[in-house]
């Protein structure tokens, strides 16, 4: 799962860079309709990147809770799967 998230994040960042490039090119070509579409796509990608950050924060929080519970001697069945 971590690898998938990392790959997704890299892909989204690359797409965002491409959107900026296309947007600038469209502006210099005075193709404002295309520039606006690329801006919308860029914002959509930014939202996806924000969602990935939220997921990472939640996962880190969950891992910390699991770690604390294990230190208290509480056994959690899914904790082994989550760690891998």
Sorted by where each begins, the domain ranges of the chain are 2-83
Using a 10 angstrom Cβ sphere, with 0-12 exposed, 13-18 middle and 19 or more buried, the burial of residue 19 is buried
Task: Report CA torsion sign: 69, 74, 79, 80.
Answer: positive
Record the pTM: 0.76
Q: 37-78: per-residue pLDDT in tens?
A: 999 999 999 999 999 999 999 999 998 998 898 888 888 776
């Amino acid at each position: 799962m971590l690898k998938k998230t990392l790959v997704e994040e890299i892909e989204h960042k690359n797409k965002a860079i491409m959107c900026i490039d296309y947007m600038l090119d469209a502006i210099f070509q005075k193709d404002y309709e295309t520039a606006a579409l690329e801006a919308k796509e860029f914002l959509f990608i930014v939202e996806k990147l924000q969602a990935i950050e939220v997921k990472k924060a939640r996962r880190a929080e969950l891992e910390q809770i699991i770690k604390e519970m294990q230190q208290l001697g509480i056994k959690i069945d899914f904790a082994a799967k989550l760690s891998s």
